[in-house]
Each structure stands twice: as structure tokens, then as C-alpha cells.
Amino acid sequence: MVTRLQISLVAVVPIVFVLDWITKRWIEANVSFWDNHVVIPGFFSIVHAQNRGAAFSLFADSSEEIRAIVLIGVSGVVMAIVARMFWKALRSPFAHSIYGISALALVLGGAFGNMADRILRGSVTDFLLLYWRDWQWPAFNVADSAISTGAVLLLVDLWRRKETI
């Protein structure tokens, strides 16, 4: 029998994907490339950047073939592994922590969001920019935020499990 918890956790994946898709399309339609709309002065802006590479623009200058093989191929394999882990955790939710299952859902939803852009558009739209004085974090998006949050939750889950062993 499927529980409400399982349905809620599965729903996280398409919710992250849809939020990511909508925000990226809105940015593309309403913000010019490298416009800087300050939200919190000295800390946070909305921009419009296209990332043809991976995190931190890795492989951005590589050939189209290399990017396709590395970014889509490797991402696809990693997504399949995460999807399998998520599915197994969902089938026995009481054997896994809510942090771990939620983390996998966030990572999977974010990965689908960025993968869709890579396949359909050849690049990923980034628009959230954090900075302080001369320091600047690379622009990112909702999918990247979900993946990062999921990764932190996985680390918390692993740390909590270690504490109980």
C-alpha cells in the first residue's frame, strides 16, 4: 500500500523540475544576458547566464561531442543510480530516514531539470547570483539549489546514522 509520505516524497521530484523549468523560462523571456537586478545590495542579484558546461562551467569550452558524452552521458548514469536509490528507499521508507529520502528526491528533481535543458537547449540557464565585495559565487538556478540542498541533507543523514551506530 502506498502511503501519503511516499506520495509526498515522489511529488518532490516533479515539483522541483517544474519550478526549475518555469523560473528558467521566465528569466529567458524577461532578463537580458548579464543584466544585474540587485535584490539584496552587496549580496544577491538576479542575472541571466547560459552555462554550456557543468558545475562552475567545467567543459564549457569543450566540443559539442565531448559535452554531450560527458555532461549528458555521465549525468544520465548518475541520475539512474540516484533514481534506483530513491526507488529502493521509497519501497521501505521506515528503513531509511526522511532526510535521506528527501535528499534523493531533491537531487533527482534538480538533475532532471538541468538534464532537460542540456538535451533540449544545449545549455543551462542560471540566474541566481551570490556575492560579497570582490567574491562571487558562480550563477546558479533552482535545480542547482535542489541538488546542493539534497547533497547537504545526505551528509546530515550520513552523519546522524554514524552517531546512532
Write out the catalytic residue numbers. 126, 144
Residues in the chain: 165
Q: Which 3 state secondary structure label does DSSP give 58?
A: coil
Nearest to 117 by CA among 28, 43, 41, 8: 28
Tell me, what DSSP letter sits at residue 31?
A: S
CA distance 49 to 117: 13
Contact 98, 138 (CB under 8 A): no
